[in-house]
Structures are given as C-alpha cells and as structure tokens.
Structure 1
C-alpha cells in the first residue's frame, strides 16, 4: 500500500515524513528534520489528494478517523445535586490595592478603617441575601487586619469563622459560615 517516497502523516502524533523503506514488517519514515522512525502500517496515513482520501476512508472524513483514535474522556458518574446558592462563595479581597485606585495620602488608620468597613458592608450584604459562606482575603502581613476582622466577626451572632482552605487561599484568608434562620 505504501511506496518509497510517499508523503505520510502519523495518526497519533503531530508529525509527518516520507517513506524511506521497510524493515521487519514496519514502515521506516524520514521526518523533515532527518529522523528515521519505524511505524506499523495502521499508524500512518498517506498524504494524497482529497479524491483518493475519500475512497481510502470509505466515506469517513480524516477528522472522524482521528476522533476515533483519541482516548475517550473519562466520565464522572458521581454527581452531587447542589443548589446554585450552595455553590456560590462570595470572595472579598481586602487588600488595599483592590479597594482604591491609589492609596497615596492614606494613613494606616485610614487603610484599616476602609478595609474594616468594606468587610462589614460585604458581610451585611451576604447575610441580607442569605448567602451561606463568605471568604475574606486579608493577606498575611503583620496580622492587624486579621485581628480587626476577627473582632468584627466576633460581634455577630449566628456566624462561625475559621482560617480558609490553605490549598486554595494560602494563610491569608478567613472563611465565614452564616447560619441561616429559616424564619427570616
């Protein structure tokens, strides 16, 4: 089927070459870079004009044959049913660069006050909109903002808080769980 000099593509790889010879039942091809590689006949496809290709694949397109060669994607059979409200987590980044375009002229007190007010406003928003979880990203730093945040969160009833998932946020985040009152 293949002759010396035929242009071929490798089906499971992204390179091509010319048939250089045959050895031990395999076809030896030479890549444009000069490498010689051996393949089985069913691993190669001859580069020809489209009329010959159609007869070669018997009504199958090249892309259909290549799709057949791809490994099937693994499917997940475990599917948890979650409501949209359960999967949404409000993430509030309290870094000053995220809150104001320019912090020049702001004292440390001004910065901390703005960060605390933002945290309080976002927490009130989450409670009002019956969100179950909020993550405050405060960074590591000297711990002043974290201490202020802990003090703020401690004044609320019906919420629990702890350090957020280290894998996702590192050390500088606090996760807040809001216990919802069904009578509200």
Structure 2
C-alpha cells in the first residue's frame, strides 16, 4: 500500500484514503478525520462498483436490440446485392409514357433495344441473375428474347419463377 490508495477497514465499516505511512501504521483520512490504523487492518480497494462504475450505464432495451439486429441485417443486405435478381419490365407502358404513335414492329425493336442495354449493364455491374418481365401475350417478344439470348455467350436462361411472375418472365444467369 502507498499514500493516496483508497482502503477499507477490515474489522469495522468505513473507507478512506491513506495520508501517510510509517512502519506498520498508516494515517487514514476517514470521514474528514485522520485516524491511525495498522496496515494489517486495511484492505486496498482496487475497484468500487458504487464509486467507480460509469454513471450512465444503461441496460439494453428491446428497441436497442432491434436496432442492432437491423444494423446487422443492413450489413448482410449490402454484401449480396449482386446476388439479388435485377429486373426489367418490358411492357411498353413501363418503358414509355406514350407509345400510341408506334407500330408493333417499332415497339418490338424498342423493347429489344432496352433489353440488350439492360443485359449489358447487368454484366458490367457484376450481377449474376437478371429477370426480364415480358408478359404472356402472343409470345412474340419472348421468342425474340430467346433468339437473341441463344446467340450470347457466358449466360443461360430459363422461365422465371412461376410463383412470382407467372408465365411472363425469363430468368437469365450470367457467368463470369
């Protein structure tokens, strides 16, 4: 023990700080008075939970736990973004506000142009899976899409998930 240490008394209640030490005796400042005690009657206080504990300790509330979970989930969502399906709806009303002046051939050409640009963008951005929503209709757009995809390398395609898109979508898997 040394001068300045906080100590407790072994045989009686009380706590103070050592003012001076001489031999086996220590002068302890206890409740504003300096009293002599044998060093063997004192115990050094390393940590006093009532005195040294942080004042603003807060237990985690349910809201705090939900925020932590949400933060962890956000981190998980950031990593697999490229694993998620990247979609393009090729219905004309989704691509253009007005298309009543266009012939069916012009509409088909425009849809195919959008689709080709979309596939190129998905490849460039590292997506592994994309979905083209073409609808059921007469099947002309789907046939054109499949004919174009057959000419492409480093990809495969199949009908999109029925539960999500019905029969009106094609899912494309892009390879590296």
Give the TM-score taking structure 2 as reference length. Answer: 0.55
Aligned to 1:118: 114
Q: Secondary structure, in 3 states, of the residue corresponding to 2:100? A: coil
Matched, 1:177 2:173: yes
Deviations 1:4-51 (A, max 9, x none): xxxxxxxxxxxxxxxxxxxxxxxxxxxxxxxxxxxxxxxxxxxxxxxx
Separation in structure 1 between the aligned mates of residue 97 and residue 106 of structure 2, nearest angstrom: 14
Separation in structure 1 between the aligned mates of residue 165 and residue 100 of structure 2, nearest angstrom: 27
Aligned to 1:144: 140
Match of 1:107 among 69, 93, 103: 103
Query: Which residues of 2 match residues 158-177 of structure 1 at below 5 A?
Result: 158-177=154-173
Does structure 1 retain, via aligned residues, the 8 Å contact 2:82–2:126?
Answer: no
Separation in structure 2 between the aligned mates of residue 85 and residue 132 of structure 1, nearest angstrom: 10
Structure 2: any 5+ residue segments left out of the alignment? Answer: 1-72
Separation in structure 1 between the aligned mates of residue 82 and residue 112 of structure 2, nearest angstrom: 26
Aligned to 1:97: 93
Greater Rg, structure 1 or structure 2? 2
Query: Which residues of 2 match residues 25-174 of structure 1 at below 5 A?
Result: 83-174=79-170
Deviations 1:98-122 (A, max 9, x none): 0110111100000000000000000
Q: Secondary structure, in 3 states, of the residue corresponding to 2:136? A: coil
Does structure 1 retain, via aligned residues, the 8 Å contact 2:157–2:171?
Answer: yes
Deviation, structure 1 residue 91: 0.5
Deviation, structure 1 residue 155: 1.3
Does structure 1 retain, via aligned residues, the 8 Å contact 2:83–2:129?
Answer: no
Separation in structure 2 between the aligned mates of residue 87 and residue 126 of structure 1, nearest angstrom: 11
Structure 1: any 5+ residue segments left out of the alignment? Answer: 1-78
Give the TM-score taking structure 1 as reference length. Answer: 0.53
Deviation, structure 1 residue 86: 4.1
Number of equivalent positions? 104
Separation in structure 2 between the aligned mates of residue 160 and residue 121 of structure 1, nearest angstrom: 17
Deviation, structure 1 residue 152: 1.2
Deviations 1:130-173 (A, max 9, x none): 11011000000000000000011111101000000000110000
